Chain A
Amino acid sequence: MKSKKQSYYQALLFLSPTLIIFITFILIPVGFSFYLSFHKWNMFSSERTFVGVSNYVQMFQEEDFWRVLKNTFIFTVGAVPLNMALSLFVAQGLNRKLAGKKFLRTLFFTPVIISPVAAALIWRWIYDPNQGLLNHALGFFGVDPINWLRDPNWAMTALIIMGVWKTFGINMVLYSAALQGIPKSYLEAAVIDGAGPWTRFWRITFPLLSPTTFFIMVMSLISSFQVFDLVYILTSGGPLGATKVLVFYIYENAFKYFNMGYASAAAYILFGILTVLTLLQVKFLKTTMYEAV
């Protein structure tokens, strides 16, 4: 048996490359922005004024802040379940005997690869009310043209559709990898026991996917709460602020109004929300799933 101390050093050795870089380039900047959230700083000057919690107080009084928070929640609630369901559906489909699986999987992954700028520009054209592909296609089914990006009621839907399109390939790959790992013997045993495909999926496959599901859920939540690039190019927060999300708000305060203290405070609100949500997931999953965490 190795001594405790020895194993401690060994762990440190394994962690050291990551730790050194992590502390220098992630932890210190993250800590610094926490410090900034109690200051006023315009980024150009070397002067930073301590303002206590007033950035936070001001934020809670801002109508705009509550609105972007609400928009962020709507986006997340719309995008995350859709994304997870679609990616699992596709991964499960590709796990069966389909002709040209490799090719299909590549096709499903292409949206992930395209640079966000080019992708958002293409979608802006697809959503174009007059010349756009989507309304043109819907026209064949007798659907009246929809004003996707100009109508406050549709813009968020448009954003969610595009967001899911752009990212579900990532989760599909993760699910594919996990599905490969499920022993065939388990499923075969279930077939012998007379379980149908539906039962097999929910009773065997899905529980065995739980570590991956946990990972995907945490990551999807983080990334949809931080959605920015797509919003910036597709709708720029419009129409009438209907798609202005939290990171857009942070960006605007930092790089349009040069109010880095305020932007940092908003970032820590985001941090707080995500931490709570992640911990809830950990707690929930610990009680319902196999050793996911």
Chain B
Amino acid sequence: MNSLTTQHKKVIRHGLRVVDHVLFYTLALLTVAPFVWMILTSFKDMSEIFVYPPKWLPSRLHFENYERAFQAAPFGRYYLNSLFVAFSVTLGQLITCSMAAYAFARMKFPGRDLLFYIFLGTMMIPFHVTMIPSFIILHTLGWIDHYQALIVPGLASAFGTFLLRQFFLTIPKELEEAASLDGAGRFRILWQIIIPLAKPALATLAIFTFMGVFNDFIWALVVINSEEMRTVQLGLAIFRDRHVTEWELLMAGSVTATLPILIVFFSAQKYFIKGIALSGLKE
């Protein structure tokens, strides 16, 4: 009798697992379908992109779309620019945001909360109205059409500071107090205790920042003039104008622009997975 119920339970649990898998794989498939269509479109001939009923597979793989897209502009250079800028901003933000977040999470100083709320508050003003003043400031600094214009304003981030602060708050103070008793300074505590524990949060911030910078269009548009300084997103704009979208080229370009981030995400996942075992525990 007893063994039968265990048997039953096993079957049920097994069944649930199957349902679970079917559910999540279907959901994932639905989520990724537009991207799959984008990849398939990038291999289609112009005439077979829009047919009714919709056709998923290209008649043959038109690799020349990629070749044509890359010949339309110096995309090699654009990629270098985009990668360099995105990499620099990401790196810079990890440093500046973790320092600021640590100060907000752990240090006591007058006006701390007010300053923090001002930080948050600035996120609420849409970029379009601050774009012109920011541009004028960069111009005064003589940075227009230089890498600095794309990198330096991105080195401070209210989002990043807020994100890291929220994570730092969940790390038990006891760990630091122990280190502090051993005579460690604030910097050492941050680098040796907090940062290693906050790897998931840092990895998350890194991927978001990298992606945000890599996909940015409007800021790069206003601060960059010359051909050799352009980024990938500026380059992709040539495939679309008011009346015409060169679908197969735009899709080929967009797929190529998406893959690097996808690879980074896929391989950086382990950092969010081997997580901190502590978050949310603050007595």
Contact = CB atoms under 8 A, between A and B. Distances in A.
Q: Do chains A and B touch in the complex (CB under 8 A)?
A: yes
Interface of A: 7-8, 10-12, 14-15, 17-22, 24-30, 32-33, 36, 43, 90, 93-94, 96-99, 102-119, 121-123, 125-126, 130-133, 136, 165, 170, 173-174, 176-178, 180-183, 207-212, 214-215, 218-219, 222, 225-226, 228, 247, 250-251, 254-255, 260, 263-264, 267-268, 270-271, 274-275, 278, 290-291
Nearest to A212: B166
Contacts of B17: 97
A219 B159 contact: yes
B102 to A, nearest CB: 6
Contacts of B23: 93
B215 interface: yes
B278 interface: yes
B279 A275 contact: no
A73 B25 CA distance: 33
B272 A177 contact: yes
Interface in B199-213: 200-201, 203-204, 207-208, 211
29 contacts: A7-B108, A14-B100, A14-B107, A14-B186, A21-B152, A24-B153, A29-B131, A30-B125, A33-B133, A97-B17, A99-B21, A113-B265, A115-B215, A115-B217, A115-B233, A118-B250, A126-B37, A133-B37, A165-B31, A176-B272, A177-B272, A180-B200, A209-B280, A212-B166, A255-B128, A267-B129, A271-B125, A274-B124, A291-B169
A93 B20 CA distance: 8
A122 B34 contact: yes
B95 to A, nearest CB: 7
Given A21-B152, A29-B137, A106-B265, A263 B21 contact: no
A181 B245 CA distance: 46
Contact of A131 (B54, B161, B275): B54
A178 B200 CA distance: 9
A102 B153 contact: no
Contact of A126 (B34, B102, B203): B34
Contacts of A183: 277-278, 281
Interface in B112-139: 112, 115, 118-126, 128-134, 137
Interface stretch (B1-9, B60-68, B69-77, B255-263): B255-263
A250 B122 contact: no
B181 interface: no
B179 to A, nearest CB: 15
Given A108-B31, A247-B128, A117 B236 contact: yes
B156 A17 contact: yes
B175 interface: no
Interface residues of B, number: 102
A53 B126 CA distance: 20
B80 to A, nearest CB: 18
Nearest to A122: B34
Interface string B160-200: 01110011011000000000000000100010000000001
B129 A33 contact: yes
Contacts of A178: 279-280
A18 B123 contact: no
B83 interface: no
Contacts of B277: 181, 183
Given A25-B153, A254-B129, A181 B21 contact: no
A114 B258 contact: yes
Most buried by B among A17, A33, A181, A278: A181
B103 interface: yes
Nearest to A90: B27
Q: Closest 3 CB pairs between A and B?
A: A180-B275, A181-B279, A29-B130
Identify which of A29, A182, A218, A271 gathers the most chain B CB atoms within 10 Å of its CB: A29
Interface string B1-44: 00000000000000001001101110111011111011000000
A255 B132 CA distance: 11
A18 B97 contact: yes
Given A180-B200, A181-B276, A263-B129, A104 B25 contact: yes
